[in-house]
């Protein structure tokens, strides 16, 4: 038991080492992993009616005065239509449109088919996917637009409305991305994938598609299937500003949706090797939480003896 507890307690050291490796690798590859600029970058915001927020995101992006050619697409549902005067394109998913996917993934699949019909699915078109509660920095857009990968993303940071307790809970998403995504995505095979700021080449989206039996975790499914189908993955050390939930009810609903979406993806959608990676990651996460908590209790009651030479390291 003491050995298992020490493994759990030293896990943050492993995470910090992974973070350093990810950062150094991102710095090393920043100048080399640059491809030709796209003939068009489509910045797509998928929403279900957050009109004011989406318009604010559009205004901020327009204010960047980007030198690359880009269009802003807003994709929404017929029951959530709004006015988006700053967008270049407003796509309303028809009520009778059907595919294997549901909810947001269904909307993504519809927009993909529109791009295919318009010939916007070639190598020199990229699509940057945004949710309606976050906005990338200018450097983020500029980096992913020329990143020489079929699929890539960067770091989500809870900067909008930051300082609330729930925004600090989302710090965990940033930390997780800085060691998990920065390592595994950068070396070609993601484990975690987040939808905020996912940037995809037109050829890759056309090949992978969003047309799978899923109701959530569409980013996770897309990222893993992209690897299975031979698409290249990369990571950029730049930031996308997100907004954390404002109420515990919204926070729990968000996490519950992610959890059940991931479980469904592992059980019914993802290939075996991806499922094994995810199950191993979640198992280790549960082990770390349980073992470290038991260790704290045993330590406070004096039932756990640890050599004095380890205490400074544990404190660090």
- Domain at 194, CATH number: 3.90.550.10
Is 316 within a domain?
no
Is 288 within a domain?
no
Is 256 within a domain?
yes
Is 111 within a domain?
yes
Instruction: Please give the chain's pLDDT, 316 residues, in tens.
Output: 788 988 898 898 899 999 999 999 888 887 667 888 899 999 999 998 888 899 999 999 999 999 999 999 999 999 887 899 999 999 999 999 999 999 999 999 999 999 999 999 999 999 999 999 889 999 999 999 999 999 999 999 998 788 889 889 999 999 999 999 999 998 889 999 988 899 999 999 999 999 999 998 999 999 999 999 999 999 999 999 998 988 999 999 999 999 999 999 999 999 999 999 999 999 999 999 999 899 888 878 878 777 667 777 777 7
Is 285 within a domain?
no
Is 171 within a domain?
yes
Per the structure, the complete domain to which residue 191 belongs is given by 35-270
Q: How many residues does the chain have?
A: 316
Is 74 within a domain?
yes
Query: pTM here?
Result: 0.92
Domain count, the chain: 1
Is 130 within a domain?
yes
């Amino acid at each position: 038991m003491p050995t298992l507890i020490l493994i759990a307690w030293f896990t943050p050291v492993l995470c910090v080492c992974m973070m350093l490796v990810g950062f150094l690798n991102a710095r090393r590859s920043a100048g080399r992993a640059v491809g030709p600029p796209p003939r068009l970058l489509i910045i797509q915001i998928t929403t279900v009616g957050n009109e004011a927020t989406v318009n604010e995101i559009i205004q901020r992006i327009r204010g960047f005065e980007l030198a690359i050619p880009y269009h802003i697409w807003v994709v929404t549902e017929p029951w959530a239509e709004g006015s988006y005067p700053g967008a270049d394109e407003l796509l309303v998913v028809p009520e009778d449109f059907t595919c294997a996917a549901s909810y947001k993934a269904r909307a993504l699949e519809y927009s993909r088919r529109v791009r295919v019909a318009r010939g916007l699915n070639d190598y020199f078109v990229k699509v940057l996917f945004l949710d309606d509660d976050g906005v990338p920095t200018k450097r983020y857009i500029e980096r992913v637009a020329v990143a020489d990968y079929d699929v890539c993303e960067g770091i989500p940071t809870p900067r909008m409305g930051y300082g609330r307790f729930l925004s600090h809970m989302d710090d965990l998403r940033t930390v997780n991305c800085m060691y998990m995504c920065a390592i595994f995505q950068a070396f070609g095979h993601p484990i975690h994938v987040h939808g905020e700021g996912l940037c995809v080449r037109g050829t890759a989206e056309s090949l992978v598609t969003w047309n799978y039996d899923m109701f959530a975790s569409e980013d996770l499914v897309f990222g893993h299937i992209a690897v299975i189908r031979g698409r290249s993955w990369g990571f950029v050390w730049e930031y996308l500003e997100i907004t954390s939930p404002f109420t515990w009810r919204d926070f729990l609903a968000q996490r519950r949706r992610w959890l059940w979406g991931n479980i469904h993806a592992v059980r019914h959608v993802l290939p075996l090797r991806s499922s094994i990676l995810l199950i191993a990651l979640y198992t280790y996460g549960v082990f770390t939480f349980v073992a470290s908590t038991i260790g704290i209790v045993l330590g406070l009651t004096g039932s756990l003896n640890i050599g004095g030479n380890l205490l400074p390291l544990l404190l660090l």
